[in-house]
Chain A
């Protein structure tokens, strides 16, 4: 819609002073698209590796799938490097060290974790082996002290031997003494018999002797008669 604007409204119509302005302006009409301004979106457009927006990946998805952009990127990089469209200068190394610093930090952290794990395992195994070594040493020390045991055993056996030897010696002594006592007692007996005989003989007077002899002769005669009688029967 067009609106005519008179800058200086004067009573009457035809007089137009210097300040009048006649212009046709087109104002914004119709439904304005962003009447209530929408709130700020939460996240920006998705970007891969901080460089390549997601739309590129979606663009390639129907033809090449998910790995398409990766292969394309790799191929392009290799092409640029091999054809030396991108020339490797000292500047490359400085940029790599700037970017690489953070990457290196991250990788160093991962590495350190792995190393710490391995270190733990190593320490555990070292400790185990040390324990075993100590056990061995203690056992060796024990074997060093075994000689006490052997000494005691030796003493015991020596004592036992001594005891048996003494016992046997004592037995021998007793046996010998027995025999000797026997001999002595026999001799004593002989002496005693002689002595008894002597006394008895002394005690027997002459007269008694004659009587006894006569009686003995009579007995003998009887006996001889009996003896003679028997063999004939």
Chain B
């Protein structure tokens, strides 16, 4: 990345946290991903697959609280 870890805090302060800025950030992120993985001539399934994997991971995290009861051992 172009921001060094030491300068992270100062870089965050320069960011635009208005709603417009946040939507702009999401838009930019979406455009970046879209143009890299989906908007190509010979796209593979990886473009969609990564989104689905992210969704799966997210939903697993949300439902972890109920899944905890289905564990085989209580103490690990």
What residues of chain A lie closer than 8 Å to B39, measured between beta carbons? 40
Expressed in whole angstroms, the Cα–Cα distance for A89 and B43 within the complex equals 33
A50 engages B41 (CB within 8 Å): no
Option from A47, A53, A82, A87 in Cβ contact (under 8 Å) with B70? A87
Option from A45, A84, A88, A89 in Cβ contact (under 8 Å) with B36? A45
What residues of chain A lie closer than 8 Å to B50, measured between beta carbons? 47, 50-51, 53
- CB of B68 within 8 Å of the partner chain: yes
Q: Interface size (B, Cβ < 8 Å)?
A: 23
- CB of A44 within 8 Å of the partner chain: yes
What residues of chain A lie closer than 8 Å to B38, measured between beta carbons? 44
Q: What per-residue 1/0 map shows which CB atoms of B13-57 lie under 8 Å from chain A? A: 000000000000000000000001111111111110110010000
Expressed in whole angstroms, the Cα–Cα distance for A171 and B68 within the complex equals 123
B41 engages A42 (CB within 8 Å): yes
With known contacts A40-B39, A40-B40, A47–B46 Cβ distance under 8 A: yes
- CB of B76 within 8 Å of the partner chain: yes
- CB of A41 within 8 Å of the partner chain: yes
Closest to B39 in A: A40
Chain B interface (Cβ within 8 Å of chain A)?
36-47, 49-50, 53, 60, 67-68, 70-73, 76
